[in-house]
Amino acid sequence: MAVKTIEWRGDRVFMIDQRLLPGKEIVRAYDDYRGVAEAIRTMVIRGAPAIGVAAAMGVALGIKGHAGKRAETRFAQVAKTLRATRPTAVNLAWALERMERALRENLTLEAPRLFRRLRDEALAIYDADLAANRALGKFGAELLGAEATVLTHCNAGALATAGYGTALGVVRAAREAGKRVAVYADETRPFLQGARLTAWELRKDRIPVTVIADNMAGTVLRSGRIDCVIVGTDRTAANGDVANKIGTYPLAVLARRHHVPFYVAAPLSSIDLACASGEQIPIEERSPLEIAEFAGKAVTPKGVGVFNPAFDVTPAELVTAIITERGVARPSYAKSLARLKKAHSPNAAGRSAGQARRPTG
Ligand code: MRU
């Protein structure tokens, strides 16, 4: 996809404002960590891996001008603000931990060099995510036939990552391998990531896409036209329970009912072995207005109750396979995920910071 989700240029962070797509392609610039935190919270940028990259870049911006003890104190404040933005995507906490390690290893550097070192770490996280998506895309593509129709939910594409995408990375890789792939995209109420974002980026890449309302998935699956479901994840627990956009769980139930494989595309940065099961995954609740209003207009009577959990948990037993950049995990996930994660080092999927983009000072 030609448009960049997030980019570091000239000590500023640029993000396409995903709230305005597909109507307007507006790129916003941030030079301060508070702005980055607000961009994550208000969903200028969203999608677990993209949130992780944004948080890492936010840390680098936040540390600018600080060194030594002051940098440590500053990091605590910056990380607290960024961590509070969205609780479910584990990539956020994962990226903050990685930035903290880089900070602690370089506390003797003076402020300008420390800033450049942390900027490079953020860029390495970006590069590693892109590489992971390309690698998992290749593994996933092998699961598809020469002609395949994929049903997806939310947006697990280039817009949700550093680029290429996870679920949509599999679609892209299959197409690059010469397969004929078409996509059905759930609209994904209430934020419409499917209708607005998945449809937008697939159209840009000329990949055939058909948007359906979420409540049509059962009919579409029963019709026999779907070969597999592929979704992303915000956090997958050690036992293979998958937290993803609200509406993923009913889709998995429907897929099982209709004997359609249900795949989860998950970079290892989205797998949280510290969470034994989905029960420990924090589920974000967002503003009731996302449900009570549509395009700024009230759609429910004033004063009615609204429940708006942003994610649900799909039990591992409904997941056919989890596609990672190190291979495809099959049940039992407690074993297969632990094995893949063990072989994973922070920089395994990309170059490490300081290798190719060495600080200039
Ligand atoms: O609320 P969002 O838009 O951030 O939710 C995004 C999802 O649920 C994605 O499927 C998930 O983050 C994986 S993105 C590769």
Q: What is the mean pLDDT of the chain?
A: 94
Amino acid letter, 170: V
Please report the atom of ligand 1 found closest to the CA of residue 166.
15
pLDDT of residue 300 exceeding 50: yes
**Atom 6 of ligand 1, nearest CA residue:** 47
Q: For residues 134 and 173, is the Cβ–Cβ distance under 8 A?
A: yes
Strands 180-186 and 209-212, by their bridges, are parallel
pLDDT at position 3? 78
* Ligand 1 contacts CB of residue 248 (under 6 A): no
- Condensed to tens digits (0 to 9), the pLDDT of residues 23-48 reads 999 999 999 999 999 999 999 999 99
Q: Is the pLDDT of residue 213 over 80?
A: yes
Ligand 1 pocket check: which of 5, 43, 45, 46 to mutate, most ligand atoms within 8 Å of Cβ?
46
The arithmetic mean of pLDDT across residues 208-220, rounded, is 98
In ligand 1, the atom with minimum distance to the C-alpha of 310 is: 1
Q: How far is the CA of 358 from the centre of ligand 1 (A)?
A: 32
pLDDT value at position 70?
97
pLDDT at 1: 72
Over residues 1-29, the pLDDT tens digits come to 767 999 999 999 999 999 999 999 999 99
Q: Compute the average pLDDT of residues 335-351.
A: 71
Query: For 228, how many CA atoms within 13 A lie in the half-sphere containing its CB?
Result: 25
Q: Over 60: is that where the pLDDT of 352 sits?
A: no
Q: What atom of ligand 1 comes closest to residue 165's alpha carbon?
A: 15
Q: State the closest ligand 1 atom to the C-alpha of 284, by its place in the atom list counted from 1.
A: 1
Spatial distance between the Cα atoms of 132 and 53, rounded to a whole number of angstroms = 13
188 lines ligand 1 (CB under 6 A): no
**What pLDDT, on the 0 to 100 scale, is given for residue 2?**
67
**Which of 234, 248, 281, 324 has the most ligand 1 atoms within 8 A of CB, as the residue to mutate?**
234
141 Cα: distance to centroid of ligand 1 (angstroms): 21
Q: What is the maximum span of the chain, computed from C-alpha positions, in angstroms?
A: 63
Q: What is the pTM of this model?
A: 0.94
234 catalytic residue (yes or no): yes
Give pLDDT, residue 78. Answer: 98
Interatomic CA distance for residues 102 and 353, integer angstroms: 9
Ligand 1, from 154, 186, 262: best to mutate by most atoms within 8 Å of Cβ? 154
Interval between CA 169 and ligand 1 midpoint (Å): 14
Q: Determine what percent of the chain is predicted with pLDDT higher than 70.
A: 95
Q: How confident is the model at residue 295 (pLDDT cuts 50, 70, 90)?
A: confident
Pocket flag, ligand 1, residue 49 (CB < 6 Å): yes
CB 256 within 8 A of CB 218: no
Question: 216 — phi, psi (to 5°)?
Answer: -100, -5
Distance 56 CA to ligand 1 centre (A): 18
Tell me whether residue 174 is exposed, middle or buried, using C-beta atoms within 10 angstroms of its C-beta: 0 to 12, 13 to 18, 19 or more: buried
Least confident of 12-21, 188-197, 336-345: 336-345
Apex 79 CA angle, 289 and 233, nearest 5: 55
Sign of the alpha-carbon torsion through 141, 143, 144, 146: positive
CATH for the 6-134 domain, from 1.20.120.420, 3.40.50.620, 1.10.1740.10, 2.60.40.10: 1.20.120.420
In percent, the amount of the chain with pLDDT more than 90 equals 93
User: What pLDDT shows up at residue 355?
Assistant: 40
113-132 pLDDT, tens digit each: 999 999 999 999 999 999 99
For domain 144-342, the question of CATH label 3.40.50.10470 is answered with yes
81 lines ligand 1 (CB under 6 A): no
| pLDDT at residue number 351 | 41
Average pLDDT of span 165-180 = 98
Q: How many CB atoms lie within 10 A of CB 108?
A: 9
- At residue 170 the predicted structure's pLDDT band, cuts being 50, 70 and 90, is very high
Residue 356's pLDDT band, with cuts at 50, 70 and 90, is very low
Determine if ligand 1 sits within 6 Å of the CB of residue 232: yes
Least confident of 82-91, 149-158, 268-277, 345-354: 345-354
pLDDT for res 344: 62
Taken in order 325, 326, 331, 333, the sign of the CA dihedral is: negative
The residue annotated as part of the active site, out of 120, 186, 234, 272, is 234
Q: Give ranges for CATH 1.20.120.420 in the chain.
A: 6-134
pLDDT for position 54:
98
Whether residue 29 contacts residue 11, with contact meaning beta carbons closer than 8 Å, is answered with no
Looking at the chain, the domain(s) classified CATH 3.40.50.10470 span: 144-342
Confidence of residue 335 (pLDDT cuts 50, 70, 90): very high
Judged by average pLDDT, the poorest of 53-67, 181-195, 226-240, 330-344 is 330-344
Give me ligand 1 centre to Cα 42, in Å: 14
Residue where the block lists tokens 């910071």: 353
